[in-house]
Structure 1
Amino acid sequence: MATMTILSILGSEQASEDLSAAIQVATEVGAHLVVFAAGIAEPPTVGDYPVGIGWIERRDEASRQLEAVRSRAVQQCQSSGLTSEVAIAFAEKAPLDDMLFQKALHSDLAVIGRGVSGLADLRRVVVDAVIFHAGRPLLLASDKGTVTLKPKRVLLAWDSKPGAAHAATAAMKLLVDADQVNLVIVDPEARDGEEPGADAAAYLARHGVKVVVDQLASDGRPVETLLQQHASEIQADLMVMGAYGHSRMRQWIFGGVTASVLQGPSLPVFMAH
């Protein structure tokens, strides 16, 4: 019997809660769980100035906090009954990116919670390594709902671009098993055709997805806010969306005026590139 490998990436904050979400998902599908406690080490001062005591103390304290996360994670995993492994990395951004890339490359799905998504620098490294470098999907857990890989109602954000298509393909089993998938198009454009979403819906239906198309007008509202509002209206328990290298959506992933959305998403979000 095939076994999924799920990668749980933890920061130094809210690690127990984030790991609990990953354990919940891994238990649901009988997956092997790889836990990776990650921290960005503050680089030394550039120039002719000597390294200060304050810098050493900050790095030492951050390292100790992450080691405590690792120790608690080992205990949580042992109590879960899952097969698991726990690793730790405290490094500057470039080497940490490479270590995360290697872990993600040998996993089927990465799971993060607010302990990572709420820290802009760590979030950027994680998203780059997992989605853009390793090409693996990322599940962002929410504090406000149950995270699951067996959702009943799914919102699929669609914009007729490869990113959305790749996300739909990566999440196809979830979409097929759901009771209903709402394919949502915001501000349809000419490339969406005479009947926006119809071709995508037909493609999904041939796979066995029970899909309906919702066309929404943003009226100047941020796309990510509109999607989350609509997800609430249709009582979706998962959002599936593409992650883009250069677009409004990457602002959502990496911060900016919509950073608050990532810090407290209203439902779990499945992202792929």
Structure 2
Amino acid sequence: MKWGRIETEAGIVTGVIADGMLHPRAGLGSDEAAGDPLPLADARLLAPCQPGKFIGLWNNFHAAAEKNGNTIPDHPLWFLKPDSSVTGHGSEVELPAAAGRCIFEGELGIVIGQTIRQGSEAEAEAAILGYTCVNDITSLDVLNADPAFPQWTRSKGFEGFGVLGPVIETDVDWRALTVKVLVGGRERQSYAASDMILSPAEIVSKLSHDVTFSPGDVIACGTSLGARPIRAGQEIEVVIEGIGAVSVTTVAPSEA
């Protein structure tokens, strides 16, 4: 099942996507219908949810850890992206002058479907609604500007630096997925989700002992090898077969 969110003349609607239509629901993950089906052709596709908490992970893939000489973590190494960083398919993402050098990071995103606090791995598995594509855009210059304090949140928190979409897929085996990034139609990143150090259920369970998760919260599982610099004027597409493809175009800073 695919969940999505669209903007129409009447407002923002969440529902199930099927046969070119969005079937409105009372809420994310709800079985309760909330109106007549709406044609996707007449609507703008948004990020499939608006997370209250948008968590990103670092150092969660064996291949990248080995290449970079990082130790294997036993607890997720995490940071927060502000909700204002969230954007969806087809958006333009401004690369601010203050951000300097930026890179794309194609990632698998976990979407929470029910409240969970201090949950077991089994409870965490049940709390996962589905998966989405993420582009965790990062300013390298900001991240490393102060040697005394890596600025994880600021470097990843600019407007539009949290790309989600195009949908949330509930019926997919994360172990069989491959995360790819295309820049201008050319493949620049490709890695297997199965190379994750901590599985989605482990991630959600362990993090639920740090924070309380609510429906719609998102966890980006971290990236692996192949993240590259980006510049204004590029189309950047994160593709995960079985979920879909989310694409944005980078633009230069506005004069304002």
TM over 0.5: no
Structure 1 or 2: more strand by fraction = 2
User: Normalised by the size of structure 1, how large is the TM-score?
Assistant: 0.25
User: Normalised by the size of structure 2, how large is the TM-score?
Assistant: 0.27
Structure 1 or 2: more helix by fraction = 1
Which has the higher relative contact order, 1 or 2, with Cα contacts under 8 A spaced 6 or more apart?
2
Larger Rg: 1
